[in-house]
A and B are shown apart, each in its own frame.
Chain A
Amino acid sequence: MSHYYLLPNISQPGKIGCSLPTLDVSPAKLPPKELLRRELKLPEVSEVELMRYFTALSKLNYGVDTGFYPLGSCTMKYNPKWHEDIAKLAGFASIHPHQPEESVQGALQLMFELQEYLAEITGMNATSLVPIAGAHGELTGLLMVKAYHQHRGGKARKKILLTDSSHGTNPASAVMCGFEIGVVASDSEGNVDMKSLESVMNEEVAALTLTMPTTLGLFDPQIVEISQLVHERGGLLGADGANLNAFLGRVKFGELGYDYVQLNLHKTFSTPHGGGGPGSGPVCAKENLTDFLPSPLVTKNNGKYKFVSPAKSIGRIANFYGNFGVMVKAYAYIRSLGAEGLKEVSENAVLNANYLKERLKPYYYLPYDRTCMHEVVFSGKRQKVKGVHTLDIAKRLLDYGLHPPTVYFPLIVDEALMTEPNETESKQTLDAYIEAMKEIAREAEENPEILHSAPHNTPVRRLDDVRAARNPDLRWEMRS
């Protein structure tokens, strides 16, 4: 089994995994010895052994191509194969970021048009494609908020409001921008508690960050009132756009009253998640914030595309222009669907989630029993009484060959099972998942032990997290 060994175990002196050219110029004098490396201890592996090793490891993984992946808030939709081929074209993959602008007009055109499409889709005025991932986009948005208030002068607004159901990245991003955090409570329906918002929304608040639909998978019908209240009191409204798949092609953040939104191309726009990146986290902003967007943006003038820096830009947030390779795939996705196709995406995503909700409601506690959007949050509360926890349910799903939902998030739901089925899944796939979940609910009643000890047929079984953290073993070491 491959996981019993590592690269040093298959390394043998004298092996190499590829051939390299010999020097075609006369060698130069080497630099002083004190600058040179004494030894380099890297593994030496032949090509065939290397390919077998990594291929064996790939088989221990579960991806969207393996099966259903209803990880809530992560939008694990299918990734069209031809997008991968296009992003690898030499004209896209093999261009250098410092090339003269006239030699990369095709790339700049693609970026310009993607900026425009994303602004149109979100109802905003301009887009920065630079942020590398969702959390990076949040950071960008909040730096813009900070610059906006600094530019306006007046008393410093040092606080960012978040809901108690927000992603962990939201408070962490705010702290990275030097803000303090204020929390807005959710009401019993899962909406923003307006009384709570009233009481904390004051002249110290720079912005409210509000995911829409919320991480409970619910659309807050008070959105217009929320926006009004925040703006009346001098604050801005920012969206964590992680859940855009719920109303893609139907609702515009701009029309809901948001000042900016951060998107995740790797979620909503179908670019693969890569095992944890590369992502892409564009920020779209309304007129009042566009001058603060990070540098650079792509503009079009007399048919020529070029980079520019916005007037009061927060500066650079990454070394170049963002994850261009990811942008190519998102561009292809939008162009292949058009406005009507995007709307069908959200319709089917919401249909699938509501179908799961109705079918599983008899078996799992549903804390907010109302029409959901693209995801549904169940609770393992009913099973907890029997001593079975959400973690056990998740691990048992692995035995059924299915990826579990996001567990224990959002934090305001006890034993949360946050399930996002996506539009790219068929009714047959959902039915298979429903059957497995029903079976697990039965097992929780009749044979809880099988859940406690799950999973049973995965490459490894439950792993010792405590040991990993107490005695960190984070690397191998190789002697020469």
Chain B
Amino acid sequence: MPSPYLPNTDADRRAMLREIGVSSIEELFQDIPEKLRHARFKLPPPLSELELKKELHQLASRNASLDNYACFLGGGSYRHFIPSTVEHVTGRSEFYTAYTPYQAEVSQGTLQTVYEYQSLVCQLTGMEVSNAGMYDGSTAAGEAAIMACIIKKKNKVAVSTTVNPTYREVINTYVTGRNLSIETVELNSSLSSDCACLIVQQPNFFGYLEEMEAYVQKAHDIGALFIAIVDPISLGMFKPPEDYRADIAVADGQALGNPTSFGGPGLGAFACRKEYLRQMPGRIVGKTVDVEGKPGYVMTLVTREQYIRRERATSNICTSEALMALAAAVYLATLGKRGLRQVAELCYHKAHYAAEKVAKLKGYSLVFQKPFFKEFVIRCPIAPSQINQALFKEGIIGGLDISYIIDNSMLLCVTEMNTKQEIDKLVEILGAF
């Protein structure tokens, strides 16, 4: 059977071999030592598109999809409404089958949408400049920490204890990988003067809003940079990082038009003050003109990048999450100023409705009495894992069990995707314990 992915016919192959002057394809592999070029591979036999589709549909059906379950999970990956415009734009193969726009003249589509993305991230965060996107929020935070150490010529990074624990692990891997050190900080603890930066999450891992001004002051008092990790959807109603004088803002952009997809692909949004532009990691697109004076876009400030600067580059990043950045741009453009505010407000009000109801249940309480956005921590009368099992039987995926941090506690997330009916059912089942 001919392969749909291999368009050459046997006749083509024979003609090509003749042209090359060899009698078999085997001869083309003669540089590989004989004993190494006939490896054996134990892989399942090939299947046709029809058969494999069937099998993969079955495999997919073994997962509890959020299309069939009400979901109250957050903690770094968020289910938000994705307007159909997003998939239709990112589904255009002119976008998704292209690569990094090295040839600008035939990549204006990618380049201009990156310029739009950078602009929208700046508008959203209030920061002056943005790169074209990184892997995810956690690696963006790790790279921001390294960037701060390079700018400040210091070797230590401070991270708030309320930052998402897995983000802290990733930041730790990045920072210690580069032989830099890390310290953890609380709102009331002091900051050692040899720190290059302080990293705080807003809203934090537990969902509540931090006193960012106090943290920023703490960082700036010792001449350190302040790095904010933010929830991009929250910026539809809450103060942007620029307002509390953050120096670098990072976010996971998954929430902006990308499905949860079992945690990836995500998108690391990265924005900072203009004065640090040349130390920023990642690709950057700039506007310029062509030889006829027509406007156009190019990858710019490339002397920061690995393919030009090699070991002196600001980062090793090359392939990133361009298509997710495109989705984020289309998402923000589709919602616009009203839409994003409305989504944020829907999350806020629904989450507060749920929190209020849960707090009234016997045996339950809100762990933090602080303003929050869409996530909050509840203390349960029994182990959250038991409650989650009961919820799952009723078609609900409950909150994130954080008993390893706070006894019998669960981090609940409510977004515009959760209906009143779902919330009421959640509360009803919780009340039965």
Is A317 within 8 A of B139, CB to CB? yes
Least CB distance, A308 to chain B, in whole angstroms: 15
Instruction: List which B316-358 residues lie within 8 A (CB) of chain A.
Output: 316-324, 326, 330, 332-343, 345-346, 348-350, 352-353, 356
Is B6 within 8 A of A272, CB to CB? no
Question: Any chain A CB within 8 A of the CB of B279?
Answer: no
The closest CB in chain B to the CB of A219 belongs to B31
A15 to B338, CA, bound (A): 9
Q: How many residues belonging to A are interface residues under a CB distance threshold of 8 Å?
A: 201
Chain A residues whose C-beta falls within 8 Å of the C-beta of B118 in the assembled complex: 474-475
Query: Among the listed stretches B78-86, B193-201, B220-228, which one makes contact with chain A, having 4 or more residues with CB under 8 Å of it?
Result: B78-86
Question: Any chain A CB within 8 A of the CB of B405?
Answer: no
Q: How large is the interface on B (under 10, 10 to 19, 20 to 34, 35 or more residues)?
A: 35 or more
* From B4, B179, B287, residue with most partner A Cβ within 10 Å: B287
Query: Among the listed stretches B22-30, B184-192, B359-367, which one makes contact with chain A, having 4 or more residues with CB under 8 Å of it?
Result: B22-30
The closest CB in chain B to the CB of A131 belongs to B135
Is B99 within 8 A of A74, CB to CB? yes
A10 to B40, CA, bound (A): 59
Question: Any chain B CB within 8 A of the CB of A385?
Answer: no
A438 to B73, CA, bound (A): 59
Instruction: List which B1-34 residues lie within 8 A (CB) of chain A.
Output: 3-8, 12-13, 15-17, 19-21, 25, 27-33
Contact partner, B239, options A35, A66, A121, A337, Cβ 8 Å: A35
User: A469 and B300 in contact (CB under 8 A), knowing A92-B60, A345-B6, A475-B122?
Assistant: yes
Contact partner, A168, options B7, B73, B97, B310, Cβ 8 Å: B310
Question: Any chain A CB within 8 A of the CB of B301?
Answer: yes
User: A351 and B353 in contact (CB under 8 A), knowing A95-B260, A133-B320?
Assistant: no
Majority DSSP secondary structure for residues of A touching B: loop
Instruction: List which B295-320 residues lie within 8 A (CB) of chain A.
Output: 295-298, 300-303, 305-313, 315-320
Question: Any chain B CB within 8 A of the CB of A387?
Answer: no
A294 to B166, CA, bound (A): 13
Is B339 within 8 A of A423, CB to CB? no
Question: Any chain B CB within 8 A of the CB of A432?
Answer: no
Chain A residues whose C-beta falls within 8 Å of the C-beta of B265 in the assembled complex: 132, 277-278, 323-326
User: A169 and B172 in contact (CB under 8 A), knowing A94-B65, A465-B298?
Assistant: no
Is B119 within 8 A of A475, CB to CB? yes
Least CB distance, A213 to chain B, in whole angstroms: 8
Is A58 within 8 A of B89, CB to CB? yes
Least CB distance, A134 to chain B, in whole angstroms: 6
Least CB distance, A167 to chain B, in whole angstroms: 8
Is B62 within 8 A of A105, CB to CB? yes
Least CB distance, B137 to chain A, in whole angstroms: 6
Question: 12 pairs across A/B with beta carbons < 8 Å?
Answer: A16-B339, A25-B423, A62-B107, A63-B93, A82-B53, A91-B60, A103-B63, A176-B146, A277-B324, A350-B28, A351-B13, A427-B15
